[in-house]
Amino acid sequence: MTTGVLALQGAFALHQSRLESLGERVVQVRIPADLEGLDRLVVPGGESTTVSMLAERFELIEPLTEFAQSGKAVLGTCAGAILLSAEIQDGRADQRCLGAIDISTRRNGFGRQVDSFEQEVQIPILGELPFHAVCIRAPVIERVGESVTVLATIDSRPALVRSGAIMVSIFHPELVDDLRIHQLFLAM
């Protein structure tokens, strides 16, 4: 199995390192051809408007949309959740989203950089041990569609959600040594 990590901007190298530590073969995705032959894809955190602009510049919007609709597993974290969402609130007028999961996200929903935080989060699908969630300028998931399952919440708001083969989190699982979210993704 081969997992791609969108490597335009943001925390892609940390996701790659976490996946490789689990024995996964990882390819960095920068152009459409890099998606060929992949079994799964990670869309990492970063600055969501920058990722959107770069994806458009490198003609990745349509290929990423097709990949996400193919039924192959996709994990989006923080800005990746925004890019994969069906709707972006408070985004730039030219900011694109892929419509891969029926959620509406609000950029920087918890506030600016100084409002970033860390919190222990219960994720029942991962067992009783809480997950240490690192939220950096985290988006808020404002709406979830009927096909979306909420796997965890922060402040009573969805923080980790899944619909079919698409899973997104508002936090950064790659910033902690706990590999359970990456393991869950690889098992999808």
Cβ-in-10-Å burial (0-12, 13-18, 19+) of 84 comes to buried
C-alpha span between 57 and 152 (Å, rounded): 34
Q: Is residue 174 annotated as part of the catalytic site, yes or no?
A: yes
C-alpha span between 183 and 22 (Å, rounded): 8
C-alpha span between 181 and 62 (Å, rounded): 27
Catalytic residue among 78, 97, 135, 182: 78
Amino acid identity at 23: G
Catalytic residue among 15, 24, 97, 172: 172
DSSP bridge pairs for 131: 121
Catalytic residue among 24, 97, 174, 182: 174
Q: Is residue 172 annotated as part of the catalytic site, yes or no?
A: yes
Q: Is residue 97 annotated as part of the catalytic site, yes or no?
A: no
C-alpha span between 21 and 179 (Å, rounded): 9
Instruction: Give per-residue burial for 5-32: e unless 16+ CB within 10 Å, then b.
Output: bbbbbbbbebbbebbeeeebebbebeeb
Which residues carry out catalysis?
Answer: 78, 172, 174
